[in-house]
Amino acid sequence: MKSKKIAALALALTMITSIGAGCGTNSGSTASTTSSDSSAQQSTAASTTAADSEKVTLKVLAGQSTTDAGTEDMIDKALAKKYPNITLEWECVDWGKDFQPKMQQYMQSGLPDIMIGKAQDVATYGSKGLLGDMTGKPYLDNVLDAAKPGVTIGGKTYGIVYNALYQGVYYNRKIFADNNIAIPKTQDELKAVIEKLKSLKITPFATHFLDTWSIGNITMQFAINDVFNKTPDWGDKFRKGEVSFSTSPEYRKAYEYNKLIYDNTWKNETFSLEQTECDARLVKGKAAMKVSGSWSIQNFLDVDENADFGIFPFPNQTGDSKLIFEPNITFMKSANSPNQDAIDKVFEVVTSDKDLALEIFNFTKTASMIKGVTPTFKNPSQKDIDKYVADGKIVDANTGNTQLVWGGFQEENAKDIAAWLQGKIKIENVLKLSDSRKANSKP
């Protein structure tokens, strides 16, 4: 789905001198590349192993989400403790905006040794034979079994899913409790909640449509529960000409939910408001709900460490929506890198160092996909998540993301939806434009 781009937290870590500076707080569209030892890089250009006495520099392309900037420094520090001869040269970019273009560029010139993206990227690049096979590697034993199917192609594993996010409607628990508002399960119930909030002079939805990725993200959330949960192969049918956006009542409705939210938010501000301010308003009670994901938790708690918020699935047409689980940080490696041994050592560290994993999960406010590691950060919405998990009301975001690709398709459709909301084009044109991108839809 989409990228989650906001100003990242600054992270100051004392680094061992042999380790290159990471991407720092860069998570925007401008990539940053840093390296610690150019002479080591030159002397190991043709290296094929990572013997303890042999210096190796590995190039890393990290497509980051809101929560991720700073994790590269943590990885550098942990790697230095066990394999000080391995240096990572980081290039950090915004995953939703710049990762796919960068990958296209590197497909022409040669991929970096390591790529960090999303699980859905495995379907895109693994099917092209670009990713290295990890099947049977000991470090995969450290990863939860539930995290493996989404990065497996033809029985072979091409990625390490490291953590996960949850997506749905975050809500200000105090507003709901003080006004006796029940969690809506149907569209009629949601509309009743909206009307009650408006009568109380409370903005129903917090939004920041300045970031069109947020429109793309919530649109896929809607589609997962209204389209893909009913027709898992909808994207394949679309490419075969059996269905279309223009003729699908379900997909049209998924697009129209954006209008429901737009009509019940700060319409005069949403296309100029940044995410940090948007999230702060939810915590401060200036809005009651926000369709979002776990990446907002950092912002909520930064505003008020005692903030009380919950999460529920955005209600669909049939009243059976599920909370969405999205595999997030996913490690991949180039099939053609001459440094396979060194890469495997890096993956060994990131999957086996439980202190590192806990630090990253607590920093990013995400769920663990590593065995034996349970995040300890405060998360008021966890009790809601636990309930949906216990009731079996959880669905993988890849249900939709492996059917319709983000880069060049979902993100472009989101721009058209933004134009429609602003009155520049009609909904019929938006649907036709989505149909016109059929050739770009396949992951």
Q: Could you tell me if 327 and 200 are in contact, meaning their C-beta atoms sit under 8 angstroms apart?
A: no
Which position has the token pair 């938790």? 297
Residue type, 376: T
The Cα 373–Cα 88 span in angstroms is 25
For residues 46 and 385, give the distance between their C-alpha atoms in angstroms, rounded to a whole number: 48
Residues 6+ apart with CB under 8 A from 96: 2, 3, 4, 5, 65, 213, 216, 406, 411
Contact 296, 170 (CB under 8 A): yes
> What is the SS3 assignment for 32?
strand
End-to-end CA gap in the chain: 12
- In eight-state DSSP terms, residue 440 is G
> What value does the mean pLDDT of the chain take?
89
Percent of the chain with pLDDT over 90: 76
Q: Indicate the Cα dihedral angle 381, 317, 187, 211, nearest 10°.
A: 60
Q: What is the pLDDT of residues 103-137, one digit of tens each?
A: 999 999 999 999 999 998 998 999 899 999 999 99
CA distance linking residue 37 with residue 57, whole number of Å: 8
Cα–Cα nearest to 117, from 178, 183, 68, 51: 68
pLDDT band at 175 (very low <50, low <70, confident <90, very high): very high
Q: Which of 11-20, 66-75, 107-116, 345-354 is the least confident region? A: 11-20
User: Model-level pTM?
Assistant: 0.74
Strand 86-94 to 56-64 pairing: parallel
Residues 428 and 357: beta-carbon distance below 8 Å: no
Separation between Cα atoms, residue 216 and residue 3, nearest integer Å: 9
Model pLDDT for residues 261-288, shown as the tens digit of each residue:
999 999 999 999 999 999 999 999 999 9
Place of tokens 């290039």: 91
Residue 5, C-beta contacts closer than 8 angstroms, at least 6 positions apart:
27, 28, 65, 66, 94, 96, 97, 211, 213, 275
Q: Is residue 244's pLDDT more than 50?
A: yes
Bridge pairing between strands 394-396 and 323-327: parallel
What single letter denotes the amino acid at residue 87?
Answer: T
Query: Which of 332, 358, 206 is closest to 274 using CA atoms?
Result: 206
Band of the pLDDT at 85, cuts 50, 70, 90?
very high
Structural domains of the chain, with CATH:
32-162+328-368 (3.40.190.10), 165-325+380-440 (3.40.190.10)
Query: Longest Cα pair distance anywhere in the chain, in angstroms?
Result: 70
**What string of DSSP letters covers 78-95?**
HHHHH-TTEEEEEEEEEI
Helix axes 411-421, 427-436, angle to 10 degrees: 170
Quote the pLDDT of residue 18: 35
Q: Give the up-direction half-sphere exposure of residue 313: CA atoms within 13 A in the CB hemisphere.
A: 30
Using an 8 Å Cβ cutoff, are 300 and 309 in contact?
A: yes
Q: What is the pLDDT of residue 26?
A: 36
pLDDT tens readout for residues 397-436: 988 998 999 989 999 999 999 999 999 999 999 999 999 9
Output the six-digit token pair for 102: 């960068």
SS3 content of the chain, % helix, strand, coil (to 5): 45, 15, 40
Average pLDDT over residues 310-315: 98
pLDDT of residue 407: 85
**Stretch 213-239: mean pLDDT:** 97
Query: Quick check: 27 pLDDT over 60?
Result: no
CA separation for the pair 342, 323 (Å, rounded): 38
- pLDDT at 22 (0 to 100): 64
Determine the pLDDT at residue 20: 43
Torsion over CA: 124, 127, 130, 131 (sign): positive
52: confidence class by pLDDT, cuts 50, 70, 90: low
How far apart are the C-alpha atoms of 380 and 309, rounded to whole Å? 6
Residue whose tokens read 């349970």: 374
Give the tens place of pLDDT for each residue, 326-377.
Answer: 889 999 999 999 999 999 999 999 999 999 999 999 999 898 999 999 899 9
313, 224 contact by CB (below 8 A): no
Q: Would you state the structure tokens that stand for residue 110, as one six-digit string?
A: 């040669």
Q: Report which residue type is found at 390.
A: A
Strands 323-327 and 309-312: unpaired
Smallest CA-to-CA distance from 86 within 48, 120, 117, 55 is with 55
Structure tokens at 425: 């084009």
Cα 61 to Cα 69: distance, rounded to the nearest angstrom: 13
